[in-house]
Structure 1
Amino acid sequence: MPNMGAPLGPLRILLVEDSQEDAELLCDQILDAGLEARFQRVDSEQDLLDALAEEAPDIVLSDLSMPGFSGYQALRIVRELHPQTPFIFVSGTMGEETAVEALHNGANDYIIKHLPARLPSAVARAIRDARSAQERARVEEELMRAQRLESLALLAAGLSHDLRNILQPLLIVPDLIRDRSDDPKVIRLADVIAECGRRGHEMAESMLSFVRGSRQPSESVGMSRLFQAVGMLLKSNIPASVELHLEVADERLAVEANYTELQQVLLNLCLNAIQAMPNGGQLRLVAERAFDPVAGEQLCIRVQDQGVGMDEATLQRLFTPFFTTKSTGTGLGLISCRRIVEGLGGVISVQSVPGQGTCFDLLLPLSAELAADDGERPAAIPGGRGQRVLIVDDEAVRLSLLGNALSSQGYRLRLAADGAAALRHLQQAGLPDVLLVDAGIPLLSAGQLLAEMHGMGFHGPAIVLEEAGERVFDQIPPPPGIRVHTLPKPLEMQRVFRAVADALGVS
């Protein structure tokens, strides 16, 4: 009887045997033991190759010596084509030395033909061992994948922090440029710089959202504006042989989404499409209304190319993590695209024909149509009149830019890179009218610094700069009498000016 264990189910057993009678005896021995199996017999190299190409067997049972073909040849072929398939020699000519050699060459076991009682249990054990090995390999692969994703999370966190610090000047400098020039071209340049800084910061946040699975802030994204931006970004990547066609069926089409994330989805799909057209062709990016019998009217964004296309096997694995057909690809781009689209309550589908091209359809919920811009400009923010502002921030570039910006607004500035330096300023020059402090300063935390200042008699307002998720005073409230305002990072100077003016009651 086969060894006890989980049911094996229907088995496909391949017999490499030149004797029909011996093959039938082996089949009867296995079936009588209660195993469910179907058998196929081959007795030549070509027949073996054909059988292995047709379907991978659960196990191969092979004679050792056959006219014109040997069991060792069969073993070599099976190991080359299906390395994990169990292989057992069943022979009447196998001595001890031959059996050892067979095991050394990769056989799982050997059975003497005139002593076949052990055959069913050997077959069952070999199949279970092979399946256990495959399951271990699968689990190890999943573990490695999880470890790689964890490493990506740590990398994304570090890169996100560094990129946000590098991009911070792009959010502060434009306001300083606008205040110093009335030239429309210069102001337009400042707007472009500010937009790049904001989108760059959102891209850094998206790296974290990918590994955390968190959602980014959404806005009403108009398709016309989005397509124009994607077209501009693609210009430097489109070869002369590829024609880009942008089409928005209705200028009012919009979707509630994070602009940068949705832009990255379209850029990813478009760049993949360009790479799939080495001989050129047309790349179409279309936005139109679509009707779904269940969901009703939706927004359909289509990315269609005339490239090399994909076969069914590739389509089946297209959204598998780390699967890629490109030598330099990561296999994460399309996974990220699907996560973003599904996070918006939409679906992404793909159709492809080898040699004809590929079409991705993004079906998303329609948002309210875009309202016309009323052209109103925000009210002017009043400047300071010599009020003393202490800024504490360990990011040198941001500290300098904040100091210059607020100084230009009429405030008197003191700058400190950490809590200890701030206390030295206070001892030398006295208390400020307002404190502007980064939540993550070293040496003394923002809360500890406020407590020390309160002990020195400070009762003015404080503005705390916080990253998303930071809550300085959630556990320990601020000292009594100190009004605390918070500003999210990345900073925009108009919001900083307004926060300082409001904290001081400047009118």
Structure 2
Amino acid sequence: MPNKGTPLGPLRILLVEDSAEDAELLCDQMLEAGLECSFERVDSDAEMRALLARWAPDIVLSDLSMPGFSGYQALRILRETHPQVPFIFVSGTMGEETAVQALHEGANDYIIKHQPARLPSAVARAVREARREMERLRVEDELMRAQRLESLALLAAGLSHDLRNILQPLLIVPDLIRDRSDDPKVVRLADVIAECGRRGHEMVESMLSFVRGSRLPSERIVLQRLFQAVGMLLKSSLPGNIDLHLDVRDERMAVEGNYTELQQVLLNLALNAIQAMPDGGRLSLVAERVATTDGERLCIRVQDQGIGMDETTLERLFSPFFTTKASGTGLGLVSCKRIVESLDGTISVSSRLGEGTCFNLLLPLHGAVAEPEVGDRPVVPAGRGQRILVVDDEATRLSLLGNALASQGYRLRLAADGAAAMRHLQEAGMPDAVLVDSGIPLLSAGQLLTEMYGMGYRGPAIVLEENRNEAFADGMVPAGISVHVLPRPLEMQRVFRVVADALGTG
């Protein structure tokens, strides 16, 4: 029976047949067998091409020979336009050699017209096999996509490390320039350099956090910072004819959730909007407070001026595997809906053909972020010749730290790894303070400080940490040494302040 196995649902069947009577017999045969079918019939090259341009069949049943047209021509046309759709020859003139040739040409099966009992089961089997093959190809494509993303994550991690090292001088040097010049033009230039360095670091961090994912299942997300990160990530994908508008009506607004997942939602909606505006337009991301029956909530709007969607597309928009893109998976908006609903929120969409689309996200508001305090930079006391050992395997940062601290009045010893630091200690004795990067080679920061403690060192240690990677995650916290943590990327004024506090001169 054709209905054994996975339900087929309604089938669209294309009949390539010049005889209306024979076509009617084929339709009756399949309907009587319990198949739910709709039919279209063509008998020429032009008719078939025109129909396939506007209608996709689930299977094609074709006569072998017709006046001015042949089943082989029909098979070639189908393979050109719909290569995955199954094709079955149904003919009264098919001998064994012809049947073999038909299969060799790419047909899925053949049926003799005066022996049609096998037709319904052959149709059902061919459709199921074609669907299984399409699902297999889809899964393979998803696996390949996942492998590419995994490779991208590895590349992003390596690139972000190198980029941070390259950008580090842009954060350290401006403070040195300001301290050495009263010329307002030079100070303004230093401010420009520092701002470029901060933006560069923010872009790197946004890219890396998106690839790696947030380590916190839930955290307070400040909308202003989230929009800034999304804007920086979108800039590289934004065509010149699209204007990106970001508007957070209250800079103190915050929401509770997973940062990376909410970032993914906004990026997905924004990238869809960009693709929906081939002729350009305005892409707006707006966050504001709105009053609802459940009280005040956060509303995020992602609005475009693109081609819009019809009612049929809107009805199926959040259905799994539904997509209007040739290379889409149909899972992006499903993921967005899941993420928003996991935050106790809702997502809705309005759209009109030719006028654009607007997605609305309603989310619970978190407590407002406190207003930042504004004031002059505190004056950090200069050093008085204290000896500082700096251990860092990144040559540029090591040199910059050495020059900056020396200009502040400290005496410096520089080491590129733990072994070099130990040689310095054996040759020149103990320093007054040690500044060590958490990722130094040969000896870890914890091992180095433990060795120094065993040699009699009792001064402070300033440890550079990156992205919440704890320097002593292995539990090796040296006893008797006061440890001060300095997060990267470094800002020179913060370095001076932490060093002064560690030495007790701050």
Segment of structure 1 superposing worse, 458-467 or 71-80: 71-80
Give the whole-Å Cα distance in 1 for the aligned partners of 2:324 and 2:175: 43
- 1:75 & 1:158 partners in 2: Cα distance? 51
Query: What's the counterpart of residue 475 of structure 1?
Result: 474
Q: Deviations over 1:222-257 (max 9, x none)?
A: 79xx99xx99x99xx998x99999999x7x654348
Change (3 A) 1:66 1:36: same
Is the deviation greater in 5-14 or in 196-205? 5-14
Deviation for aligned residue 1:394: 0.9
Query: Structure 2 CA distance, aligned partners of 1:371 and 1:446?
Result: 36
Partner of 2:212: 212
The amino acid that maps onto 1:489 is R
> What are the equivalent positions in structure 2 for 1:286-365 lying under 5 Å apart?
290-294=290-294, 296=296, 298=298, 309=307
Distance 1:42 1:488, change over 3 A: same
Distance (whole Å) between structure 2 residues aligned to residue 164 and residue 342 of structure 1: 36
Task: Identify the residue that residue 255 of structure 1 maps to in structure 2.
Answer: 253
Q: Using the TM superposition, give the Cα deviation of residue 377 of structure 1 relative to its aligned residue in structure 2, in angstroms.
A: 2.6
Secondary structure of 2:456's counterpart equals coil
1:361 offset after TM fit, Å? Answer: 7.0
Aligned residues: 485
What amino acid is aligned across from residue 141 of structure 1 in structure 2?
Answer: D
Query: 1:12: which partner in 2?
Result: 12
Instruction: Check the 8 A contact 1:210/1:336 in 2, yes or no.
Output: no
Cα distance in 2 for residues equivalent to 1:293 and 1:476: 51
Instruction: Supply the distance in 2 between the matched residues of 1:488 and 1:154 (Cα, whole angstroms).
Output: 23
Deviation sequence 1:322-358 (CA, Å, 0-9, x none) = x999xxxxxxx99999999999998888767666667
8 Å contact from structure 1 (residues 15, 62) kept in 2: yes
Cα deviation 1:9-48 (Å, max 9, x = unaligned): 333333223334433443444345x442324252522554
The alpha carbon displacement at 1:52 in A equals: 3.6
Q: 8 Å contact 1:304–1:358 — kept in the other structure?
A: yes
Instruction: Quote the Cα distance in structure 2 between the aligned partners of 1:22 and 1:274.
Output: 47
| 1:238–1:274 contact (8 Å) kept in structure 2 | no
User: Is the contact made by 1:290 and 1:300 (CA closer than 8 Å) also made in structure 2?
Assistant: no
TM-score when scaled to structure 1? 0.78
Q: Flag the 1:103–1:324 CA change in 2: closer, same or farther, 3 A.
A: closer
In the alignment, the residues of structure 1 paired with residue 40 and residue 287 of structure 2 have an alpha-carbon distance, to the nearest angstrom, of: 58
Shift of 1:375: 4.7
1:209 is paired with a residue whose SS is: helix
Report the Cα offset of residue 432 of structure 1.
Answer: 0.9
Contact 1:466 1:487 in 2 (8 A): yes
* Contact kept? 2:31, 2:37, Cα under 8 Å: no
Q: Secondary structure at the match of 1:190?
A: helix
Residues 63, 90 of structure 2: 8 Å contact kept:
yes
8 Å CA contact retained: 1:43, 1:69: no
Query: After alignment, is 173-182 or 132-141 more displaced?
Result: 173-182
Q: Structure 1's 424 and 335: CA in aligned 2 closer, same or farther, altered over 3 A?
A: farther
Q: Gapped runs of 5+ residues in structure 2?
A: 326-331
CA distance in 2, matches of 1:497, 1:428: 27
Gaps of 5+ in 1: 326-332
Residue of structure 1 equivalent to 2:424: 425
SS at match of 2:253: strand
Q: Percent identity?
A: 65
Structure 2 CA distance for partners of 1:463 and 1:138, relative to 1, 3 Å: same
Structure 2 counterpart SS, 1:389: strand
Counterparts of 1:275 and 1:8, CA distance in 2:
33
**Pair 1:63 & 2:63 matched:** yes
Q: Which moved more, 1:133-142 or 1:148-157?
A: 148-157
- CA–CA separation in structure 1 for the residues paired with 2:92 and 2:389: 94
- Which whole-Å CA distance do the structure 2 matches of 1:278 and 1:26 have between them? 47
CA distance in 2, matches of 1:350, 1:99: 52
Structure 2: how far apart are the matches of 1:346 and 1:451? Answer: 50
Deviation, 1:95, is 1.2
Cα distance in structure 2, aligned partners of 1:408 and 1:343: 53
Query: Which residue type is aligned with residue 191 of structure 1?
Result: D
In structure 1, the partner of 2:198 is 198
For each residue in 1:349-408, what CA deviation from the matched residue of structure 2 results, as whole angstroms up to 9, or x when unmatched? 876766666777787777878988765334322222211100000111111111111112
Contact 1:291/1:297 (CA < 8 Å) preserved in 2? yes
Residue 328 of structure 2 is matched in structure 1 by none
CA–CA separation in structure 2 for the residues paired with 1:2 and 1:287: 54
Q: How does 1:371-382 map to 2 (within 5 A)?
A: 375-382=374-381
Q: From the superposition, tell whether residues 361 and 127 of structure 1 become closer, same or farther in structure 2 (CA, over 3 Å).
A: closer
Whether contact under 8 Å (2:299, 2:360) holds in the other structure is no
Q: Give the Cα separation in 1 of the matches to 2:336 and 2:486.
A: 31
Q: d(CA) in 1 for partners of 2:50 and 2:202?
A: 56
Q: Please show how residues 177-188 of structure 1 align to structure 2 within 5 Å.
A: 177-188=177-188
* Aligned counterpart, 2:123: 123
1:104 match: 104
Distance 1:3 1:90 in 2: 21
- Residue 143 and residue 101 in structure 1: after superposition, are their counterparts in 2 closer, same or farther (change >3 A)? same
Q: Cα deviations across residues 112-169 of structure 1 (Å, max 9, x unaligned)? A: 2223333233222211110111101111111121112112211211121111111111
